[in-house]
Amino acid sequence: MNHAPPPARLGFLYPGHAAEDDYPLMGSMVQPPAEVTLIHTEFLEDAHTVEALSEMGSVGRLSQGAEALAGSEIESVMWTSTSASFVLGLEGIRQQIDALEKLLGVPASTTAMAFARAVKTIDAKRVAIAATYPKDVAQRFREFLQHFDIEVVHLASRGIITAAEVGTLGKDEVINFALANTREDADALLIPDTALHSAAWLTDLEQATGKPVLTANQVSFWEALRLCGKLTPQSGLGHLFEEAP
> pLDDT, tens digit, for every residue of 94-146?
999 999 999 999 999 999 999 999 999 999 999 999 999 999 999 999 999 99
pTM for this prediction? 0.96
Residues 217-235: tens digit of each pLDDT: 999 999 999 999 999 999 9
How much is the pLDDT for 159? 77
On the question of a common fold for 9-113+218-235 and 122-215, the answer reads yes
CATH number of 9-113+218-235: 3.40.50.12500
Q: Domain locations in the chain?
A: 9-113+218-235, 122-215
Mean pLDDT of the chain: 94
Residue 128, phi then psi, degrees to nearest 5: -105, 150
The answer, yes or no, to whether residue 1 has pLDDT greater than 80, is: no
Residue 147, phi then psi, degrees to nearest 5: -60, -25
- Can you name the CATH fold of 122-215? Rossmann fold (3.40.50)
How much is the pLDDT for 16? 92
Is the Cβ–Cβ distance between 153 and 217 less than 8 Å?
A: no
Strands (E), the chain: 9-15, 35-41, 76-79, 108-110, 126-131, 151-157, 188-191, 213-215
How much is the pLDDT for 31? 94
